[in-house]
Amino acid sequence: MIDAVGNPQSLLLLGGTSEIGLAIVDRFAGQRPLRVVLAARPSERLDEAAERLRAKGCTVSTLAFDARRPETHEEVVGKAFSDGDIDVTVVAFGVLGEAERAWQDVEHARELAEVNFVAPVTVGVALANRLRQQGHGAVVALSSVAGERVRRSNFVYGSTKAGIDGFYLGLGEALKPHGVQVTVVRPGFVHTKMTKGMKAAPLAAQPEQVAEIAVTAVRRRQDLVWAPGAWRFVMSVLRHIPRAIFRKLPI
């Protein structure tokens, strides 16, 4: 159960090696160790993450999860709930891809679409079924400011993020009567392995900052937050710029 001050007892991280996702787990565990299920493709990185959390006093199990195999998602989610209620689920897997290749190479485009949109939808529906039975819980979905107004420079990624954003906002509305809170988090540029080697964009943040914002939002039962918070205002301006001008912006 999530208690009155917002401490969960159990957490499922889909994308169990995501740096932002793990920072969120750390943030919760920092106040109270909890039971954690890491769902990811088996790898050394995954084992290391599990070990690190155990050292912090968490009870950790791992679960094989491949975002590109949607036919397995219902089963994966089922396994994640087999040891009891899941209080918080973080949907953190994703790929950035190579922007120019993604709109010209069918296979690459398909990878982005499947990992960033199809999989969040299939796990989302499986998750929702469980959470409705459970009558409580919180879901954190990592969207992106890139999906809020899709730009020419990375529109395949941006459009998949627009998709996940819309889906989880809607899912949040659908699940409200069932006692489930969905929080959509829209980060800007975050220093993680996903953006390694790229030039940092304005308002660049560390995963810990995003985690702090996400955890506070769960505790406050908020539907939508930006990370850092200033993005909310930047995006509200960008959203209203006419296409003719937007097109010419160096972003």
Ligand X SMILES: NC(=O)c1ccc[n+]([C@@H]2O[C@H](COP(=O)([O-])OP(=O)(O)OC[C@H]3O[C@@H](n4cnc5c(N)ncnc54)[C@H](OP(=O)(O)O)[C@@H]3O)[C@@H](O)[C@H]2O)c1
List residues near ligand X by CB under 6 A. 15, 17-21, 40-41, 43, 45, 65-68, 92-95, 115, 142, 144, 187, 189-190, 192-195
- Peptide bond preceding 228 in cis form (omega within 30 of 0): yes
Given 157, 168, 189, 226, the catalytic residue = 157
Q: Which is nearer to other proteins, 102 or 180 (CB)?
A: 180
Interacting partner of 5 out of ligand X, other proteins, none (Cβ under 5 to 8 A depending on kind): other proteins
Q: Least separation, in Å, of the C-beta of 227 and ligand X? A: 8
Q: Which is nearer to other proteins, 128 or 180 (CB)?
A: 180
57 near other proteins, rule: CB under 8 A:
no
Q: Which is nearer to other proteins, 135 or 170 (CB)?
A: 135
d(CA 178, CA 135): 5
Residue from the set 9, 72, 129, 195 that interacts with other proteins by CB under 8 A: 9
Q: Which two tokens stand for residue 153?
A: 């420079």
Say how many C-beta atoms besides its own lie within 10 A of residue 176's C-beta: 12
219 near other proteins, rule: CB under 8 A:
yes
Q: Which stretch binds other proteins (CB under 8 A): 37-45, 46-54, 129-137, 185-193?
A: 129-137
Instruction: Establish whether 157 is a catalytic residue.
Output: yes
Q: Which stretch binds other proteins (CB under 8 A): 95-103, 171-179, 225-233, 243-251?
A: 171-179
61 near other proteins, rule: CB under 8 A:
no
Q: Least separation, in Å, of the C-beta of 102 and ligand X? A: 13
Q: Which is nearer to ligand X, 38 or 86 (CB)?
A: 38
Comparing C-alpha atoms, which of 110, 94, 129 is closest to residue 19? 94
- Residue ranges binding other proteins (CB under 8 A): 1-7, 9, 31-32, 85, 132-136, 177-180, 216, 219-220
Kindly list the catalytic residues: 157
